[in-house]
Structure 1
Amino acid sequence: MAVDIGIDLGTASVLVYVKGKGVVLKEPSVVAYDRETNEVKAIGEEARLMLGRTPGNIIAVRPLRHGVISDYTITEKMIKYFILKALGRRTFKKPRICICVPSGVTEVEKKAVEEATFAAGAREVHLIEEPVAAAIGAGIDISKACGNMIVDVGGGTSDIAVISLGGTVVNTSIKIAGDDFDEAIVRYMRKKHNLLIGDRTAEEIKIKIGTTYPLAEIEKLEVKGRNLVTGLPKTVLVTSSETEEALKEISGQIVEAVISVLEQTPPELSADVLDRGILLTGGGSMLRGLEELIEEKTGIHTITAEDPLKVVAVGTGQYAEYIGGSREL
C-alpha cells in the first residue's frame, strides 16, 4: 500500500502526519554528527539533549535556518530517518509526501526542499505554504470566498497571510520567530544580570515564565548560568515582567508585520477579518500574552488554535490526502 504523508519541516521541530493515524511523530530538527568521519550520531530529541554539551569532534546542528535548508546532506538524512521512524517499516511503494514551506521562500529554496524529500525516498512531492496548511489544519473552510487571517509563528519564521478561495491574497514572511525570542532572553540576561546562559536555558525561561503582555500575577524562576564578571557559576531570580521587557522588541516586530498585512488587505476581506478574527498557530504562538498584544494593537479579536503546534502538520497531511483523492478539502 502507498502511504500519504504530511511533513511540517520546521526550524525547531519536525512533525509527521500519516494518513489514517494523524500526527505520529514530533521531534526537534537537530542532528548530531562526527566532524571527522561525517557519521550521524543522533537525530531528534537525542541530538537536542547534546546541544551545547558535545566534545570537540561531535557537533549538534540544526540543518534548517529560518524555515529553509542550510545544510542539504544532513537535512536529507534527517527527513529519511523521520519518514522511516513514522512508518515503522519499509514500504514497497514509495510514499506521496506533502511538505510545507514558509510563504516567502524563493524558487531555489523550494527546489532544495523538493530534492531533499525525493532523495529521502518520496514518490511524489507536493509543496504547500504554511499559512494555508495551518488554516486547513485548524478546520477552516478555505475554499469559500471569505477572508481568513492566519498568523503562524514558528521557530525560524513568522508567516502572516489573508486566505480566500483556497489561496493567499496578501501575505508576508518575516525571519523573526521563536528562536529570536530565545536570543532576546540570552541578550537580556547578559546585559541586565551579567549572566551567560545557553539557548536551552533561554527556551526554558520562555516556556515557564515568558510573556509579552503584563500578567495578573508576577511569576518567578531561578536561572543558573555563568557569571561574566567572576567566571563562576551563579543563580539569579528572574521575573515574568523582566521577560516582557526582554521580548518587547521582537513581539513588536511581529505585531508590525500583522498591521502591514492588514493595511494591504482588500476592503471586502478586511471586513471578513474583522468579523472572523485573527487565528494564531505555530509553536511560537504558545508564548503567553501574544494573543492579547495583537488584539490590543489591531482591535481585532485574536484566538490561538486548539493545538497550535500540530495544526500545520495536520493541514499538510490532509492536503496530501486531498491530492490522493481520498477526501474533500
Structure 2
Amino acid sequence: MKSEDRTFIALDLGTSNILAYVGKQGIVYNEPSIMAYDTLTNTLLALGHEAYDMFGKTHDHIQMIVPIKDGVITDLDAAKDLLKHVFSKLKMLNDWKNSIILLACPSEVTELERTALKQVAYDMGADIVIVEEEVKMAAVGAGINIDLAKGNVVIDIGGGTTDIAIISAGDIIISRSTKLAGNALNEEIKKYIRSEYNVLIGSKTAENVKIELGSLAKYKGERTMSVFGRDVVSGLPKEALISSEEVRNVLVNAFGRITNMIIELMENTPPELAGDIITNGFTLCGGGALLRGIKEYFTGIFSVPCTVSPNPLTGVVEGCKIWEKVILKRLENDYYGKGARKVKKGSQPDFI
C-alpha cells in the first residue's frame, strides 16, 4: 500500500490533554486525558471533559485514571482503552488499520518508553509508527523553519513536562526536560494556600487560581479571588481570599528552576548558535505560554526577544500536521527502514 493511501494520524498524548489530528480532516479531538471507571462493573463511565468535571467529586466505586503522566504512558491497557473509546466515539476506529501514526513525546523519554508508545499504536492496528519530540513539533507548529542552520530556543511548557531545546539544521542540537510544568505549578499553589491559610484545596481549584490570577509580571487589573476548601485544623469548609501578587510570587519562585535549566542549556551551546539566539530569541509554546507576563519575565532575565506561539495549546499537533509531508517523503525514500514498521509475529523488533 502506498504511503499516501494510508490514513495519517498524529497524536499529542499530553498529561493534561489528548489531541488527535487525522489527515485531510484536521484536529478531531482535544479533551482532557482522564477517564472515570466504575470499579464494581469495570466499565468506563466517562472520559475527556465529562470525566474532568467529575474529578474530586466521586465516591469510592469510581476510579479516575490518567494513563499518561509526564508525557509517558503509565498504564498501557488504560491508554489503549482511552484511544479506542475516543476513536469509537468519533466513529473512526477503522482508520487505525494500516495507518501511519505520528506520536509526539517529551524530548528525554527513554527508549523503553518510546517502545511502549509505539506498542499502543501497533495494538490499535497501525502499520507504521513514528515518534518525534514534542518540542520539535511545537517549533514547527510555531512557524519556525527548523531546516535552516540557525539556532532557535523553544520552550514548551505543557501539563506534565517542560521541554527546552535548541533546534538548528532540521533537528534538536541540545535539550533538557523537567517535570516542573502546569500540574507542578498547581501543586505549588495548593501548598502555598495550605501553609498560608490552613485551607486544603483541590487540583481543579488550584488550576482555576492559576488561570484567573497567575502572572510572572505585574499587570493591569490585578485583583483578589475567593477560593473554597477544607480547613486543615477543623475539617470544616473554609474560604480564603488570594491576591494576584501572592500567586505571582509562587509562580516566579517555581519558574526559577526553569530559568536555571535554560542557563545550563546555554552554557553547553556551541558559540555560533549562541550568536543566533541573541537575534532569534525564545519561542514559547504549550499551555504555560499563556501565563500573563511570561514574555516580559524571560526578556528581563536573558535580554533576548521572546515570542509566543500563535497556537500555544495546539502547537504540537499543528506541527505534526505540517510534518506529515516530510514523513510521507521520507517513507518514499525508506528513511526509517524497518524501525517504524509493525513487527511480524516471531521476528525481533528493530526500533529506530
User: Considering the TM-score relative to the shorter chain, is it more than 0.5?
Assistant: yes
Is residue 58 of structure 2 the alignment partner of residue 51 of structure 1? no
2:75 alignment counterpart:
71
Pairwise CA distance, 1:183: 0.2
2:187 paired residue among 183, 189, 192: 183
CA separation in 1, counterparts of 2:122 and 2:325?
18
1:117 alignment counterpart:
121
Native 8 Å contact 2:155 2:163 kept in 1: yes
Give CA-to-partner distance per residue, 1:233-267, whole Å, 9 cap, x none: 12222111010122233211111111211111111
Give CA-to-partner distance per residue, 1:268-322, whole Å, 9 cap, x none: 1111111111000011221222222111111111111111001101112322342
Unaligned runs of 5+ in 1: none
Instruction: Pick which of 7-16 and 57-66 moved more.
Output: 57-66
Native 8 Å contact 2:97 2:126 kept in 1: no
Of the two structures, which has the highest relative contact order with CA contacts closer than 8 Å and spacing of 6 or more? Answer: 1
1:81 paired residue among 82, 85, 88: 85
Give CA-to-partner distance per residue, 1:77-125, whole Å, 9 cap, x none: 1122334445646348432110101000100111111101211232211
Letter of the 1:98 counterpart: L
Cα RMSD over matched residues?
1.9
Is residue 108 of structure 2 the alignment partner of residue 104 of structure 1? yes
Pairwise CA distance, 1:191: 0.6
Unaligned runs of 5+ in 2: 331-352
Native 8 Å contact 1:16 1:86 kept in 2: no
Secondary structure of the 2:276 match is helix
Native 8 Å contact 1:77 1:120 kept in 2: no
Is residue 311 of structure 2 the alignment partner of residue 307 of structure 1? yes
Is residue 157 of structure 2 the alignment partner of residue 153 of structure 1? yes
CA separation in 2, counterparts of 1:55 and 1:21?
39
Instruction: Pick which of 174-183 and 216-225 moved more.
Output: 216-225
Change (3 A) 1:198 1:56: same
CA separation in 1, counterparts of 2:39 and 2:272?
55
1:14 alignment counterpart:
18
CA separation in 1, counterparts of 2:127 and 2:291?
37
1:264 paired residue among 245, 265, 268: 268
CA separation in 2, counterparts of 1:123 and 1:83?
17
State the structure with more CA Rg.
2
Letter of the 1:78 counterpart: L
1:139 alignment counterpart:
143
Secondary structure of the 2:29 match is strand
Native 8 Å contact 1:18 1:86 kept in 2: no
Percent identity of paired positions between Structure 1 and Structure 2: 37
2:222 paired residue among 218, 222, 225: 218
Give CA-to-partner distance per residue, 1:151-186, whole Å, 9 cap, x none: 000101110000011111111111110000100011
Secondary structure of the 1:184 match is helix
1:40 alignment counterpart:
44
CA separation in 2, counterparts of 1:92 and 1:116?
11
> Aligned runs of 1:164-313 on 2, under 5 Å?
164-313=168-317
Aligned residues: 327
Is residue 130 of structure 2 the alignment partner of residue 126 of structure 1? yes
Instruction: Pick which of 7-16 and 253-262 moved more.
Output: 253-262
Instruction: Pick which of 151-160 and 133-142 moved more.
Output: 133-142
CA separation in 2, counterparts of 1:50 and 1:202?
16
Pairwise CA distance, 1:203: 0.4
CA separation in 1, counterparts of 2:59 and 2:270?
55
CA separation in 2, counterparts of 1:270 and 1:92?
43
Is residue 94 of structure 2 the alignment partner of residue 90 of structure 1? yes
Change (3 A) 1:266 1:84: farther
1:31 alignment counterpart:
35
CA separation in 2, counterparts of 1:68 and 1:87?
26
Change (3 A) 1:121 1:84: farther
